[in-house]
Amino acid sequence: MLIQSPHDPAFIQDPYALYDQARAQGPVVFWQDYGMLAAFDHATVHALLRDKRLGRAVPDDKRKPVPDHLAAFDLVERHSLLELEPPAHTRLRRLVLHAFTSRRIAGLAPDIHAICDDLLGDLPDGAFDLIPAYCQLVPVRVIARLLGVPEAMAPDLLRWSSAMVAMYQAGRTRTIEEAANTAAAEFTDFLRGYIEGRRSAPGDDLISELIAAQDGAQRLSPDEMIGTVILLLNAGHEATVHSLGNAVKCLIETGTTDALGPARIEGTVEELLRFTPPLHMFTRYAYERVEVGGHVMEPGDEIALMLGAAGRDPAVFADPHQFDPDRKKPAHLAFGGGLHFCVGAPLARLEMQIALPALFAHAPDLRITKEPMFSDSYHFHKLDALIVSQT
């Protein structure tokens, strides 16, 4: 049995020591604070991400009535790829991928370069917080261009995303729930009107592509489009913000900014995602009786798949607590796996591959001026702030 509060200050700053202990105990153990099993080794996490006996959709007998103060948030969740299983997930993902193509993502590279250059030119002199000045604004402006909405809406998109994503952190409160519901309602209202406008005047943007997406006779409903767009913002934006923040901290502290050159950047980004990922836990429900790591899961039982721990498993990665930008395979699990492998992973990789070299080319002497602290926001592992100076 594992007893560890996700709010413990020592755990927040360094969860990896506990992961090592849990892996040695289990590697599958019952985490009392969460009331569920948790898998900490790469092999089990990798296998369960792909095991069709488990999934993200809440089993019917575990589903609770939705309170009135979460009605708008629940409507979005019901149509989110992240919370569906086949056949609904299969149909929706196929339609989404008709629009969210590798060609469209690759075509965003010039926009990402332009956004980075614009933001870097506005960085202040002296000490400043890099998270809101750069790490937040790169992905939100990219998402705005991808969707075809005005970049002037970035503050609204950030506000909505932050409020909704807070629902997935440990220890959410009624205040957090009400803020998330308000954000969901406002974002949904905006998108309904915007989607209708794009039906009569399509553009070269993802929303227009989602409207046109067709698989045989099937199309996306308005609610499905709204759920998809919100998921792309919340999952893609939030993860990329903190991937960038964690990456800059790591590169400066390890003195490895030379690994951002064209020949090494792809491998460096993969190692950053392994070494300091933004999301550490992803859960699954059992849909039938499953034996895992010497434990039996009954239908409806939930298990935590510890993505952050899997990336530091010494059975798979030599010197796992060492950041090595030249590390070769195997692949990390930061983007999940199986049916729910992150649909936005190619975009997140591209943003990091452009934004990190651009930052250090602009500010080669960038240094941290105040010790960075991680936020009390588990399952996310993200910085409260990253105070830096260019000189």
Tell me the whole-structure pTM to 2 decimals.
Answer: 0.94
Average pLDDT, consecutive stretches of 10 residues, N- to C-terminus, the chain (391 residues):
96 97 95 97 97 93 90 92 90 85 91 97 95 96 90 91 89 93 96 91 89 75 89 83 97 98 97 97 96 95 97 96 91 93 92 98 97 95 96 80
Q: Would you say 386 and 368 are in contact if contact means Cβ atoms under 8 Å apart?
A: yes
Report pLDDT for 95.
84
pLDDT in tens, 11-47: 999 999 999 999 999 899 999 999 999 999 999 999 9
Q: Would you say 307 and 333 are in contact if contact means Cβ atoms under 8 Å apart?
A: yes
Report pLDDT for 214.
64
Report pLDDT for 252.
98
Two tokens at 63? 């589903």
Report pLDDT for 217.
65
* Owner of token pair 């199309």: 219
pLDDT in tens, 349-373: 999 999 999 999 999 999 999 999 9
Sign, CA torsion 25/287/70/219: positive
Report pLDDT for 274.
97
Other Cβ atoms closer than 10 A to 352: 24
SS3 category, 129: strand
Report pLDDT for 215.
56
Hey, where are the domains in the chain? 63-280+338-389
Report pLDDT for 160.
94
**Which CATH fold topology does 63-280+338-389 show?**
Cytochrome p450 (1.10.630)
Two tokens at 34? 């969460």
Work out whether strand 36-39 and strand 302-305 pair parallel, antiparallel, or are unpaired. parallel
CA distances (Å), origin 208, targets 98, 203, 339, 343 = 12, 6, 25, 18
